[in-house]
A = this chain, B = another copy of it.
Amino acid sequence: MTEKSKIGTFLFKSESYLADFRGQMTLPMLGNYLLEVASRHAAERGFGYNEMTERNTAWVLSRLAIEIEEYPRMDDEFYIKTWVEEVNKLFTTRCFEILSKEEKILGYARSVWAAIDIETRKPTILDRERLKEYISDKECPIDNPGKILAIEEESGFTSYIVKYSDLDINGHLNSIKYIEHLLDLFDISMFEKSQINRFEIAYMAEGRFGMELNLYNKEIKENQYNMAITNNNKAICRASVRWTK
């Protein structure tokens, strides 16, 4: 297999009706595009949603880290490249490179996925031999998503109840909606004077319709915030955000 067919390249246009008040793409919207290219890249190589369903399994996003220097602006065309970096017994790592139309590198992302059994919702052992064929040695020069320290006991919280618009096709809180609700904890002044330079999230449990969530946010050092969402005092995700001027 050539390097080229291991790496998928996808062209998008940043639609104006999805831009934020600064006229640029939001981080959750960028996350949507990353999941979309992950899904298409996998489907084109025979390990997408349909093939996984046939084996009674589904991909579940476990961790995601995004580092971005410059966000696409409204009406900009941009590329996302994606490739498989690593395959272990239970997890596979997929990377992304985000580029302008002129192929200037805007940022990178790294995601960690498990395959779960649809009935039991427990992890299954990956088909390493088959997935390994697609591993590319293209570089993804950002830190791995790592351990995020809990801040729930040191911070106030905002409550939220999971609604219809939050649900994905499995009836669970959509992976990107975790991010949207967390970023909504920041005051508008943060978005006016700074940019999110790195965002990472660890998904720990599934949210469901009507679930009562508590959302936490704490500045742990200058421009660096740890966040969490809990249900019944148990974290369903933790996240970390680094802002730059």
Contacts and interface: CB of A to CB of B under 8 A. Distances in A.
B169 A19 contact: yes
A167 B36 contact: no
A168 interface: yes
A15 B168 CA distance: 12
A106 interface: no
18 contacts: A17-B32, A17-B39, A17-B174, A17-B176, A19-B168, A19-B169, A20-B167, A21-B167, A21-B168, A21-B209, A26-B165, A28-B165, A164-B184, A164-B188, A164-B191, A167-B188, A188-B209, A188-B210
A26 B176 CA distance: 16
A16 B49 contact: yes
Interface in A17-67: 17-21, 23, 26, 28, 32, 35-36, 39, 49
A171 B188 CA distance: 10
A184 B210 CA distance: 11
